[in-house]
Copies of this chain bind each other. A is one copy, B any other.
Amino acid sequence: MIKYTENPSFSTWDTLCKRPTPSLDDLEPMVLEVFDAVKQNGDEALKAYTKKFDGVALDSLLVSLREITDANNQISESLKKAIAIAQHNITAFHQAQEEKEVCVQTTEGVNCWQKSKPIEKVGLYIPGGTAPLFSTILMLAIPAKLAGCKEIVLCSPPDKEGKIHPAILYTANLCGIHTIVKVGGIQAIAAMSFGTTTVPQVYKLFGPGNQYVTVAKQIATRFGLAIDMPAGPSELLVLADETANPAFVASDLLSQAEHGADSQVVLVSTAKNCIEAVQKEVAAQVEALPRKDIAKKALAHARYVWFDALDIAMNFVNNYAPEHLILCTKDNHYCVENIANAGSVFVGNYSPESAGDYASGTNHTLPTNGFARQYSGVNLASFKKRISFQEISKEGLLRIGESIEVMAAAEGLEAHKNAVSIRLESLKTQR
C-alpha cells in the first residue's frame, strides 16, 4: 500500500522529499473581491458573506457573555480538567521562553541593548467545521497573553445556527480572550486586516485554515500584515529502528494520516524488520478508525524509506525538514544533536505526536512543507518584536566618531558623516 524505497541515492532525495503543492492562484481573484468588499462595507459585508458562505444571518457578530456562560455549562468536567492540564504545561513552556534584555558596551561609552516588546494587536483564526480546534486556541492565546499583546481578536465561523462550538468559547474565555467574533474564511482575514466597526484591525495574523484562509493570509501580507508562517498540509516523519515499538509507530503514523487526505506520512528506518512490522500494524490499526477513509487516502502517498546507516538517514531527515519528527532509535542522543531542520521533535517511545498536539507544553503550530528549514514554530517570540537601543556618551562618540566619518564618506553619504562631525567639533570647542 505504502511506497517503499531502499537506500535511495542522494540524487533522488529532492523528489522523495517533495510535497504536493497545489497552486492556489485560482483563488486569488475571489479573495481579492472579498477583501475589497470588506474594506468598503465593513460589518455589512461580513454579515452578507456569513449568510452566503456559512448559511446563517447574524444580528450581532460578537459572541455575547451569555453565550460564554452557556458554553461553560456545556463542557464536561473531564474536558475542563484536561484543558486545565494542557494550559498549565503550555504556560510553563512558553513562559520560560521570556527573553532577557541583551546589554553590551561595545566600546567604552557606547552602550547598545536589545529589548523584546509585544506586538500590540494580534488576530487569531480558529477554523470551524466538525472538529472544534479548541487546542489551537491554547497554542495561540497563551503565548499572546504571556507576550503582553494588548488587543487579541479571535475569529471563528459560526455554524448554521449561528453558534460557535462551546469548547472553542470555553477555551477562549479561559485564556482571557474577550473579543470573539463569529466570522470565518476570507472575510475574517479581511476584517482583521482592515478593521471594521466590530473587528479591530491587527498587525499580525495567526492560525490554521482551509485553502481560502491560506490564500487570504498571503494576500493580507500585501496589505502590511505579518503572518505566523506559510501554511501547508500537516506532516509526520518517524525515524525508527529495531528498538522502536512497531504498534506505537503505526499509531503515530495513523494519527497524522487521519488529519486529512493530503497529510504527509513518512517512516525512515535503519531496520527492515521494523518497517515490516509497522506495515502490518498500520494495516491492522487503520481499520478500527472512525476516519479510516481519510487516513487511507493519506497513506496512499505515504513513504517508507530504509537506509543502511543512521547518519545517512539523519541527513535525509534534515533534507526533508519535517514539521513533526519522532525519534525511536537506539541512539536518540545522536539524532537530537544532529537535527538541523524540524518543527518539533518527539524523543523516544513514550513521546507521541499527540502529546505535543495537546498537552505536553510545546506548541503545535509548526512549519510544514519544508519551511522548517527557515521558519520557527509559533513560540513566545512570535508575539513580540525586538527593538535595539543605543546611548553613546561624549567619550564614546570620540572613540568611534572617526570610523563613522570615514565609512560614511566612503559610501558617499556626507550628511551621515556631518551628523558626527558637527558633534565632534562641538566637543573640541568644549574642551
Contacts and interface: CB of A to CB of B under 8 A. Distances in A.
Interface of A: 78-79, 81-83, 85-86, 88-90, 92-93, 96-97, 99, 102-104, 106-107, 110, 112, 114, 117-121, 130-135, 167, 203-204, 221, 224-226, 230, 245, 247-248, 251-252, 254-255, 257-259, 285, 288-291, 295, 332, 336, 339-363, 367, 369-377, 379, 381, 385-394, 396-397, 400, 402-404, 406-408, 410-420, 422-423, 426
B350 A423 contact: yes
A405 B99 CA distance: 33
A374 B407 contact: no
19 contacts: A89-B112, A93-B104, A97-B102, A120-B373, A130-B412, A132-B411, A224-B371, A343-B388, A344-B387, A347-B390, A350-B396, A354-B404, A357-B416, A359-B403, A359-B407, A360-B400, A372-B385, A373-B385, A376-B386
5 nearest A-B pairs in the assembled complex, by CB-CB distance: A106-B361, A82-B403, A89-B106, A82-B406, A376-B386
Given A360-B392, A400-B360, A422-B251, A132 B79 contact: no
A92 B114 contact: no
A426 B120 contact: no
Given A339-B117, A360-B106, A388-B362, A410 B379 contact: no
B112 A93 contact: yes
A388 B106 contact: no
Contacts of A118: 340
A209 to B, nearest CB: 16
B390 A360 contact: yes
B290 A414 contact: yes
Give the oligomeric copy count: 2
Nearest to A89: B106
B393 A350 contact: yes
Contacts of A79: 406-407, 410
A304 to B, nearest CB: 18
Given A404-B359, A419-B255, A419-B354, A386 B390 contact: no
A379 B114 contact: yes
Contacts of A114: 93, 97, 362, 379
A103 to B, nearest CB: 8
A20 B354 CA distance: 48
A354 B426 CA distance: 17
A376 B117 CA distance: 10
Given A112-B93, A354-B417, A248 B373 contact: no
A245 to B, nearest CB: 7
Nearest to A203: B374
A175 to B, nearest CB: 15
Given A291-B413, A381-B381, 10 more contacts: A79-B406, A82-B404, A86-B403, A88-B106, A92-B104, A106-B360, A134-B411, A135-B407, A348-B392, A376-B386
A350 B257 contact: no
Contacts of A78: 406
Nearest to A249: B419
A200 to B, nearest CB: 13
Contacts of A391: 332, 346-348, 351
A415 B132 contact: no
Contacts of A349: 423
